[in-house]
Amino acid sequence: MDELEKVFLGRISAGMTHEINNVLATIREATGLMKDLLLQGKDLSTPLQEKLVSVSERVARQVERGSYLTTRLNRFAHSLDHPERVEDPDELLGLTVDINQRFARLKKVQLNALPCSRNQRLSLPSFHIQLLLANALSWLMDRTAGGGEIILRPTVESGRLTIEMEARPVSESPTEMADTFTELATHVATVQTFIGADFKNRTGVEGFSIILDLPPAV
């Protein structure tokens, strides 16, 4: 995808998520008003009133959920229209967890990010990092045992960001994993070269880690 296409996609997606959020805000207020009206006649409380209040609360909860998701999608969309963004690595990985959570849930894998060792903001090619992380996570999820966990562990050293993705327990032997890991690295080689990132792997006692190493921003 060239830069012009990326910016276009980012701009349209960001604009649409903004509009969807306006719709959700209106639904939230309308449901809130219904609840206010129902609760006005407290002394006339009937099972139907109670049921309607409970339904309006359910709608409000789903609006909350929808709003959170659109906010995250909006943030992801903005990673497309800015090739380099100044980011907090914790925020970057928080977004990674959110946008990959559904895939993890389908594989019955827990996906979590640990906080960064250092509170720092870095200039990062966010979209390409998300692309590499999503590919690596998808590959790891396919090899993580059901009920297992993938932990994202960021570290920053002299402006250099390293993200370890550790899966445990894994469903394949370490040798098999190390062999097929080469396929993953080849699959995303162009993007790695583009942002100067490096993918490595490490076999642990119970699990398997992929390490994404990013060069310091120029």
Least separation in angstroms between CB 91 and other proteins: 12
Least separation in angstroms between CB 135 and other proteins: 25
Among residues 70 and 192, whose Cβ is nearest to other proteins? 70
Question: Cα separations (Å) of 10 from 15, 118, 170?
Answer: 8, 30, 35
**Cis peptide leading into residue 89 (ω within 30°):** no
Least separation in angstroms between CB 54 and other proteins: 18
Among residues 33 and 189, whose Cβ is nearest to other proteins? 33
Least separation in angstroms between CB 123 and other proteins: 17
Least separation in angstroms between CB 110 and other proteins: 27
Among residues 15 and 196, whose Cβ is nearest to other proteins? 15
Nearest residue to 196 via CA among 215, 183, 168: 215
Positions in the binding site for other proteins (CB under 8 A): 14, 17-18, 21-22, 24-26, 28-30, 32-33, 36, 40, 63-64, 67, 70-71, 74-75, 77-78
Give the DSSP letter string of the chain.
Answer: --HHHHHHHHHHHHHHHHHHHHHHHHHHHHHHHHHHHHHHTGGG--HHHHHHHHHHHHHHHHHHHHHHHHHHHHHHHHHHH-SSEEE-HHHHHHHHHHHHHHHHHHTT-EEEEPPPSS---EEE-HHHHHHHHHHHHHHHHHTEEEEEEEEEEEEEETTEEEEEEEEEEESS-HHHHHHHHHHHHHHTHHHHHHHT-EEEEEE-SS-EEEEEEEPPP-
Among residues 16 and 151, whose Cβ is nearest to other proteins? 16
Among residues 34 and 211, whose Cβ is nearest to other proteins? 34
Among residues 63 and 177, whose Cβ is nearest to other proteins? 63
Least separation in angstroms between CB 81 and other proteins: 10
